[in-house]
Amino acid sequence: MRKDEIKRYVLEYLVDESILPITVLETAITVPTDNTFELKRLEIEMNKEIRLKEMERKKEKEEREMQMQKEKEEREMQMQREKEAREHEFRLKQLELGVIKASDPKIGLDTGGFDVSKHVKFVPKFQEDNVEKFFNHFEKLGEQLKWPRDKWSILIQSNFTGKAQEVYSALSIEDSMDYDKVKKAILQAYELVPEAYRQKFRKYRKADTQTYVEFAYQKERHFDRWCASKKVSTFDTLRQLMLVEEFKRCVNDDIKTHLEENKADNLKEVANLI
């Protein structure tokens, strides 16, 4: 085969592989029969382009496979979450109806003959505008009626509505069976946390319809809730509470945000965080 024919063949191959534009065929110049250097150069260039093309294809294939694997894993995770949610809902419905009478190894629950369905009707109505009062009322009933504490979460969830219902549904099966974790998650959702209690205490003002005795009582309640949420039980912890609050009041908003995120309760610790 003549060298110019070989060159033509090489160019056609490169065009077919979309490595070179088709215009090169129109402007191709016949290679002199003695120009072995030019022919060798074309051969090297062709091999180089072929290798690059193969590498690109391999990379694209790997990326497609990785993407497909990622999508597969995401689908499997979503299916698993949906399955757990359905099992969770079904199990709770069984518990509400008093169907489960034996120990469940998955959640470590033993009904012990306690018929949930007979006691659900005594659970107070959930109030989104007074969540803490609802929990206090429920806990008093639980103590008075001698409900087993490990059944409290089953009983209380039956009356959840709105945001509380959404928060409860998002909990894992194990956490949803732990009353303290259920209560904590819902109080956090309604922002019934130390900072919210502090603000309620500081911003609470007397209403025109209130007597001064009523106002004083509510003001004291907000203060007690704030202290309780910060576990204030001694003069020193109360002193630190006041000092830290005053310190935060004197710094700019960025520093205040940083301090609140770190949740230090001691003035020296707070100062060292800056």
Collapse the DSSP code of 177 into the 3-class scheme (helix H, G, I; strand E, B; otherwise coil) and give the result. Answer: coil
Bridge partners of 104, per DSSP, are 109
Residue located via tokens 């409900």? 147
CA distances, 136 to each of 8, 21, 145, 163, 211 (Å): 90, 79, 14, 19, 25
Cβ(157)–Cβ(167) under 8 Å? no
Per-residue model confidence (pLDDT) at position 80: 81
CA distances, 211 to each of 31, 189, 214, 218 (Å): 108, 32, 5, 11
Dihedral sign computed on CA atoms, order 151, 152, 153, 154: positive
For the chain, count helices (H), then strands (E). 14, 0
Rounded to 5 degrees, φ, ψ at 109 are -105, 135
Residue 254 CB coordination number (10 Å): 8
Per-residue model confidence (pLDDT) at position 31: 46
Per-residue model confidence (pLDDT) at position 99: 42
Report the candidate in 134, 129, 110 with the shortest Cα–Cα distance to residue 183. Answer: 134
Per-residue model confidence (pLDDT) at position 107: 43
The pair of three-digit structure tokens given for residue 202, joined into one six-digit string: 């500081």
Per-residue model confidence (pLDDT) at position 212: 94
- The residue type at 45: E
Q: What angle do CA 6, 44, 29 make, to 5 degrees?
A: 40
| Annotated domain spans of the chain | 3-78, 102-192
Rounded average pLDDT per 10-residue block, the chain, 274 residues: 63 67 56 58 76 86 89 86 71 53 43 74 86 90 92 89 87 88 88 81 92 93 88 93 93 87 87 88
The pair of three-digit structure tokens given for residue 190, joined into one six-digit string: 């309604």
Cβ(96)–Cβ(120) under 8 Å? yes
What pTM value is reported for the model? 0.41
